[in-house]
A and B are shown apart, each in its own frame.
Chain A
């Protein structure tokens, strides 16, 4: 059971994809606990289950077994609409594949993640912080991969969530853009946000006080970052 300071926790979390096709489980008995305001990096080889773990923690993928607790609430015991409300206002998710809406401008894409009034103004400001102020009116297809990645991060941060789950947020970025993203993530953490980051970027992982390692769906190491 997570303690009262726990923001996001998984206990005995397992998930299997298509066992009838001979695919092994993506997650096996994962236990982890993120304290409120903690910054944790999650590393591991491709196919080790990092994205699956993130999706399950984000309330988007019902695990085969085990539980996920968000601020003390069993996420998958909640109704669909209650879980949706958490995703809408309290939990930000930056996808590795970005998943931007193709017919909306960068600014409109960011505003989609902000349920509050004045979303247009805030989304413009958020894009400016990520160096995309000049590209706000552009469609995703008119942006580079790196720019799209930053738009996706801006959207995840738009609602100023209590928890941010980011999947390879610097994966497609040049060093300068990666620096901007790192700065944003650090600022988010410094403002009290809880951050779980999947990354292969050693520089970014080094900024996290705690590093988790996932291999073949199992959490194999949990240690302060020494990368």
Chain B
């Protein structure tokens, strides 16, 4: 009789123990799946919320009158636009967005004109853009208050410094400086303001969210100063610290609970495996007495664990996905798509859970293989 058939006959015979084992694996897998799905959704949600908070690093010309900057919202001094090509060689700031800002009058209304490009990433990484706006030449995004004052809507034309721009979108009023802003492409802003090849601000995110850094601003300046001479780096402390704390909380929670679930499940599976071997001592003694090889006996015991692990993994993935779908949207309203676990996690669970169950049942199996058949038979 094949080992596989023996495994399934035994599972059918001791179905209560098998069911308990599969349930334990299933619950552990479900908890890990839920934890991962919620962590992923939480990270996305945090990112979206933090995007609204804005970037937390400012890079300006070191000639900037900072008091004037905070009063007006832009620097009177510019820096070379090719500084954006140098940010590949550093690891302290990410998602760098170049800006060229100037206060101008548009049809009698004072407007903060902002030339903008899409974000760049440290080390030339390719990431999903979150910040910045990619506008084509001749397009404009108009802040809510300006749109209301100028009475413009999407598709209308707008004359900015004697140049025509078509309104691509109008932002809703948000109670921020954005309400009084008109965004145009960086190239248009440079030409219209007569500042070709120049910027007057770079905004970025610092990259120390997951680690403790004693002096993050000092580190930023130390890393960026050689690359961007003639600049000063500022850090929006509250936003940066809140972002770091939020990331650490999310990662810390996941790092604590996931191994805890896995260890708990491992201990339970090992205990169930030991009980199974204990229940089967007589039978295992018979196999030994009849001269069946230890490899065959081990395959029977470990194969049983693998079958239970596979069953538990499938059940756990389905249960975890169901729980994440059912309760996740109550917690995360903006990152619902991240609650889908997806096939890589299912595949990981299908490979990992049986392996885990197998490792958990190894001690009991090895104990059994070391026993004399007679000793096992006497316990029957």
CA distance A89 to B13 in the complex (A): 29
**Closest beta carbon of chain A to B289's beta carbon, Å:** 6
> Which residue in A86, A99, A112 is a CB contact (below 8 Å) of B285?
A99
Q: Which residues of A are found within 8 Å of B332, using beta-carbon distances?
A: none
Instruction: Give the Cβ gap from B254 to chain A, nearest Cβ, in Å.
Output: 42
Known contacts A88-B292, A108-B1; is-contact A95 B13 (Cβ 8 Å): no
- Chain B residues near A55 (CB, 8 Å)? 374
A24 interface residue (CB < 8 Å to B): no
**Contact between A97 and B292, CB atoms less than 8 A apart:** no
Find out whether the CB atom of A61 lies under 8 angstroms from the CB atom of B372. Answer: yes
Given the complex, which residues of A lie within 8 Å of B12, measured CB to CB?
103
Total contacts A-B at CB 8 Å:
61
Contact (Cβ within 8 A) B1 A112:
yes
Using Cβ atoms and an 8 Å threshold, which residues of chain B touch A113?
A: 290
Q: Which range contains the number of B residues in contact with the other chain?
A: 20 to 34
Q: Smallest CB-CB separation from A113: which chain B residue?
A: B290
Shortest Cβ distance from B228 into chain A, in angstroms? 72
Decide if B374 touches A97 in the complex (CB within 8 Å).
no
Q: How does the 8 Å CB contact mask read for B9-26 relative to A, with 1 for contact and 0 for none?
A: 110111000000000000
User: Which of A84, A100, A103 touches B9 (beta carbons < 8 Å)?
Assistant: A103
Residue of A nearest to B286 (CB): A99
Chain A 132-163 interface mask (CB, 8 Å, partner B; 1/0)? 00000000000000000000000100000000
- Whether a CB of chain A sits under 8 angstroms from the CB of B373 is yes
Q: How far is the CA of A136 from the CA of B80 in the complex (A)?
A: 91
Report the nearest A residue to B10, measured CB to CB. Answer: A103
Residues of B within 8 A of A86 (CB): 291
**Is residue B380 within 8 Å, beta carbon to beta carbon, of the partner chain?**
yes
User: Residue B283 at the A interface, CB < 8 A?
Assistant: yes
Say yes or no: A99 contacts B377, CB within 8 Å: yes
The verdict on A223 contacting chain B, using a C-beta distance below 8 Å, is no
Q: Are A104 and B373 in contact (CB under 8 A)?
A: no
**From residue B304, how far is it (CB to closest CB) to chain A in Å?**
12
Residues of chain A contacted by B346 (CB below 8 angstroms): none
The reply to whether the CB of A111 lies closer than 8 angstroms to some CB of chain B is yes
Report yes or no: A99 in contact with B282, Cβ–Cβ below 8 A. yes
Q: How far is the CA of A212 from the CA of B354 in the complex (A)?
A: 54
| A85 interfacial contact with B, CB 8 Å | yes
- Determine the chain A residues whose CB is within 8 A of the CB of B377 once the complex forms: 95, 97, 99
Centre residue among B1, B282, B285 by max chain A CB count within 10 A: B1
Query: B289–A111 contact, CB under 8 A?
Result: no
CA distance in complex: A60, B291 (Å): 10
Complex CA–CA separation, A60 to B372 (angstroms) = 7
CB distance from A73 to the nearest CB of B (A): 15
Q: Which positions 1-57 of chain B face chain A at CB distance < 8 Å?
A: 1, 6, 9-10, 12-14
Chain A 77-93 interface mask (CB, 8 Å, partner B; 1/0): 00001001111110001
Number of interface residues of A (CB under 8 A): 28
Q: What residue in chain B is nearest A109 (Cβ atoms)?
A: B286
- The CA of A115 and the CA of B289, in the complex, are separated in Å by 13
Contact with A along B290-315 (1 / 0, CB 8 A): 11110000000000000000000000
Contacts A60-B373, A61-B374, A111-B1 given: A101-B289 contact, CB under 8 Å?
A: no
Find out whether the CB atom of B380 lies under 8 angstroms from the CB atom of A97.
Answer: yes
User: Interface code A50-68, partner B: CB below 8 Å = 1, 0 otherwise?
Assistant: 0000010010111000000
- Asked if B289 and A60 sit within 8 Å, CB to CB, the answer is yes
| Most chain B CB inside 10 Å of its own CB: which residue of A85, A89, A112, A155 | A112
Within 8 A of A (CB), among B348-380: 372-374, 377, 380
Question: Inside 8 A of A47's CB, which chain B residues have their CB?
Answer: none
Neighbouring B residues of A115 by C-beta, 8 Å: 291
Query: How far is A101 from B373 in the complex, measured between Cα atoms in Å?
Result: 14
Q: Is A102 an interface residue (CB 8 A)?
A: yes
- Please give the residue numbers on chain A whose beta carbons come within 8 Å of chain B beta carbons, in ascending order: 55, 58, 60-62, 81, 84-89, 93, 95, 97, 99-104, 108, 111-113, 115, 119, 155
